[in-house]
Structure formats: structure tokens, C-alpha cells
Amino acid sequence: MSDELVLVGDFSHETNTFATTPTNRPKFQERREYFGEQVDRKLRETNTAVGGVIDIAEDEQIELVHTVAASATPGGIIPQETYDFYCNQILAGIKKHRDALDGVLLCLHGAMVPEGMEDGEGPLVEKVREIVGDGVPIVVTLDLHGNITDQLVEEADALVAYESYPHIDMGDTGRRGMRILTETMRGETDPTMHIERPPVLAMGPLQNTLEGPMAEVMAKAREYEERDEIQKVNVFPGFHQADIPSMGFSIPVVADGDPDAAKAVARELAEYIWARREEFVGDFPTPSEAVAEAQRAATALDAEDGPIVMADVGDNPGGGGAADGTTVLREMIDQELTNAGFAIMHDPGVVAECANAGVGERVTVTMGGKTDDLHGEPIEDIDGYVKVITDGEFVNTGPMGTGSENHLGTAVHLKCGHEDGVSVIVTDNRLQPLDAEIWRHIGIQPERLDVLVVKSTNHYRADYESMASRVIPINSIGLVAMDPRKFDFSHIQRPQFPLDDMDDDAYPPWERSIEH
């Protein structure tokens, strides 16, 4: 092993500032909270950024110091004490090993908003920089839904974002980030960055990198990276459920010692996105329309066709949704769908009622719509049959986050109505059902359903699209509504398309760019 030492810190949250429930430490503990050597044991050989970092460190014989790996399901603002707790895990490790460190690798998100702040990542990296000085490189891996601040660009040596949505390249991102850090530590590269911000807010389903305009944007980014001087072209469509000044599209480009090359590529790609802005706005069916279409399509299915997969976008817990939205489930019950599944309904009260009744018993419950008034009214007097109760523990087997642990708390398979009615997965904890193992762990084979609904925006595509006969994103209500025009913004930069009427020559305003 070489005598090179890299400190790794993983602290990730996508903050929906419109959500009213704070994301405190227990929310992180529900999803992921590992410390020290536990980080390596839990995340080694997983499709996570930290898993990728470990791979390259072993290849390059670099010693890693793990501090913390903490991640919570997206939700409301992080209380200051929670933010400080996890930041201090990283900062304490850096202070302890400061004199021996050759580099720092931080696996962050980019859309974290702590209490009383507009950005969680930039100030953290600034504090790291104050300790290690300018001579120790800092590389930051990020989710492509980051709302990237000028401070983050200024304080880090390089930013490295996911290239796919659904995020099937989390491990690859960790590997890319660790390679750039290693080359910088060894004097083989000298990263410099430039960021541009095209004023375009893309609807959630149209941020999908598997097809459509975002796929073409990503292909163009990869073409730029074939140039010798360009190390990484990051494309952030942003997270529009955050009412903060940095919210929106951003293009930070990393070049090897050539700021002019970084600037030229960032500006060219930003102009390309602006020219195609209309393609990032679309029409999608309402819950009643989507369910009716799924029912019609299901009648024509053959046994080998696979289910019709629908996405309840507005209530996606992966974007801060309450996960107890009722608008889609109500339509499924009212329109009498058969051989159908719904994941998830976050309703601890119903879970407790089912657990008290026991497996094999019938219950009459009022389900969902209990967190707020943004996701539909509770569905009253549901007659259901408790088929299965589990501990809610399963491991991702699909392409996204492969090997990662999931913790639903107690989970119930509740069959609503008659024997061939809608199977609902009711849970204690909020979790985006992006991996199909969530069904299998509770005794349902998703491939055998005619229709299934998942509370997700795009991540479900990674594991479900290959089994689906058809995919239907639903324009449902909630804190993750796909259309940014549904939100009342007070703090974002304006104008932004499609919130505002903008002429073709409204962009580029080059004064909004920044270099590092």
C-alpha cells in the first residue's frame, strides 16, 4: 500500500423546502447512518458513490479514512443541530488527520438546505478548505439534481455528478471522482472549473436521461469530454422543489488547467439547452385519465407482456412527497382495477391496525391523506384483507443502488376490496419504491400484476422498465408535482422558463457565470 491518505465523508439529502416536516437525525437513521469502519463494511461492493471510491482506492493502493455515511429520504429542511452533527463527523476526522491527508473526497447531494441557510454543501466544503488549506485537493461527487452554488464551485477542486437519471451510475460516479482526485494528488492534472446557468426548469419526467431531450444533452456532454483538456462536463437540471437562489439548471465544467476551455464548453452547452427549452415541458395524464388508460390497456395484455407501470410523480417520497397521497389509489379503487398493486402508502396508523388484527384478518381502515392537505383526502372505510406483515427489511437487487439496505419499518400487504382487488404496500417509513424487491419481499411478484403504481418520478425506470409493457407518468398533485409552475417561489432567480415569458434573446446573460 502507498503512503497516500484520503478522507471520505458521505452526507446526502435532497431538501424539499415546501415540505413542513423537518428532516432530523432519526430520519437519517431510518435510511442510512454509518460511522468509521462501518462505512466500508456496509458500502463496499455496492452501487453507491462510496462503493466506487473504495474500488479505486484499492486499485491505486490508497488508504481511506471513513468518517460518516449518512443519507435520509428527501423531505423538509434539516434542523441546524442535525446538520452540525453530521458535518462535525467529517470535520473532526479532517482535523485529526490533517497533517497526513493527501486528499478529501466528499460524497454529497447538491440540494441540501439546512435550517437558516440556503445551501448545505458549499459551507461544508468551505470549512473543509479552511482546515486543509489550498494544497490538499477536494473532490465532491454530487447527485445531478443538485442546485449548485457559486461557493461550492469556488471551494472544491472538482465537482463530479451522476450522468444518469435514474441514477444507475452512482458507483461509476464515485470511481470518476476518485480518479480525478488521485490524478490531482499526484500532480498529473490541475482541475479548474467554470459554471453556466441556463434559465430552464425541466419537468421531472423529462429529466429522464434514457430518452428525449435530456438523453441528447447528456450525449453532447460526453462528446465534449472526448477533448483532451476537458475532464468532466456536469449537467444539473436542478431540483425545483427548493425555493432557494441557486435552484435551477447549471453546467459546471471541469478542465485540466484550462479555464478558457471550461468556459467555452459550459457556455456552448448552456446555449444548446436554452435553444431546446420547449422540449422540457410536456403534457401528462391526470390520475383519473391515467387509471382509465391503464385499465383499457390491461384488457389487451397477454400473459408475457408484463405490467403497465404508472408513476405517481406528485407524491414521490424521493423528492420530498408525503408518500401518503391518495388521488391515484382512490381512482384505482373507484375504477375497480383488478390484479393491481400500489407502492407505497406511508400510514403508520393503518400499519398498526393491521398488525393488531393479524395476518388473515379483515380490517376496515381510513388510509392516507393524513400528513397535509396537499396530497388528497383520506380514503375512508376501506375494507381490506391483511395478507402479509414483514419487518420491511430488503436489499436492492436492481440497477440503482445495488446492494443497498432499505428499512420500511413494519410493512403490510393489504388487499383492498375483493380477492382480486388492489394490493397496497403500507409502511411505517417513507421510501421511494424504486427497486422491485420491495414487492417481492412482501410476497408479490410484480411481473405478474396487470397494473402497478409506484410513487416515483424517474428512478423506477431502472428496475421496472424492462418488465413493463408500458410506462405512464401521472401528473398527480403533491410536493413533487412535475410542473414547476405549480409552486409559489419567492427566492429563486428570475426569469426562468417556463415560469416566465422569455424571448429567444433573453439568454445568455453571461454576467451570471463564475469561474474557479
Q: Please determine, for residue 223, whether its predicted confidence score (pLDDT) is greater than 90.
A: yes
pLDDT of residue 516: 56
Which pLDDT belongs to residue 140?
Answer: 98
Query: Band of the pLDDT at 1, cuts 50, 70, 90?
Result: very low
Q: What whole-number distance in Å separates Cα of residue 2 and Cα of residue 184? A: 16
Handedness of CA 385, 387, 390, 394 (dihedral sign): negative
* 363 pLDDT higher than 60: yes
358-369 average pLDDT score: 97
Stretch 104-129: mean pLDDT, rounded?
A: 98
231-235, 256-260, 485-489, 511-515, range with the lowest pLDDT? 511-515
- pLDDT of res. 177: 98
Q: Alpha-carbon distance 312 to 289, whole Å?
A: 13
Q: List helix spans (H) across 335-384.
A: 348-357
Sheet strands (E) in 391-513: 393-395, 405-407, 411-416, 422-427, 451-454, 470-474
- In percent, how much of the chain has pLDDT > 70? 98
Tell whether the model's pLDDT for residue 510 goes beyond 80.
Answer: no
Q: Average pLDDT in the 70-83 region? A: 98
Q: What is the mean pLDDT of residues 25-30?
A: 97
Look at 225-229, 381-385, 511-515 and tell me which has the smallest mean pLDDT: 511-515
- pLDDT > 70? residue 202: yes
pLDDT tens-digit profile of 138-189? 999 999 999 999 999 999 999 999 999 999 999 999 999 999 999 999 999 9
pLDDT in tens, 368-399: 999 999 999 999 999 999 999 999 999 999 99
Give me the sheet containing 191-196, strands edge to edge: 230-233, 251-256, 191-196, 514-515
Residues 6+ apart with CB under 8 A from 297: 308, 469, 470
Instruction: Please give the biggest Cα pair distance in the chain.
Output: 69
Peptide bond into 498 cis (omega under 30): yes
Picking from 160, 149, 139, 144, the residue whose alpha carbon sits closest to that of residue 119 is 149
pTM of the model: 0.95
pLDDT class of 341 with cuts at 50, 70, 90: very high
pLDDT, tens digit, for every residue of 125-136?
999 999 999 999
- Specify the pLDDT at position 25: 98
Q: Residue 286 has which C-alpha cell?
A: 391526470
Distance, in Å, from the CA atom of 66 to the CA atom of 154, rounded to the nearest integer, reads 25
Own/partner contacts of 124-130, CB < 8 Å, gap of 24 or more, are 124/11, 124/87, 124/90, 125/151, 125/152, 125/155, 125/156, 126/151, 126/155, 127/87, 127/91, 128/90, 128/91, 128/94, 128/104, 128/155, 129/155
Residue 276 vs residues 202, 272, 460, 497: alpha-carbon distances, Å? 11, 7, 26, 11
Q: Give mean pLDDT, residues 288-302.
A: 93
The stretch 355-372 carries a mean pLDDT of 97
Burial of 228 (0-12, 13-18, 19+ CB in 10 A): exposed
Residues 429-439 pLDDT 10s: 999 999 999 99
Asked if residues 108 and 68 have their Cβ atoms less than 8 Å apart, the reply is no
Q: Where are the domains of the chain?
A: 5-280, 287-482
Whether the pLDDT of residue 71 is over 80: the answer is: yes
Task: State the Cα–Cα distance between residues 30 and 216, nearest whole angstrom.
Answer: 37
Q: Which residues contact 199 (CB under 8 A, 6 or more apart)?
A: 248, 249, 274, 493, 495, 496, 497, 502, 506, 507
Query: What does pLDDT average to over the chain?
Result: 96
Q: Is 507 helix (H, G, I), strand (E, B) or coil?
A: coil
Burial of 41 (0-12, 13-18, 19+ CB in 10 A): exposed
pLDDT more than 90, % of the chain:
94
342/329 Cα distance (integer angstroms): 7
Average pLDDT over residues 228-232: 97
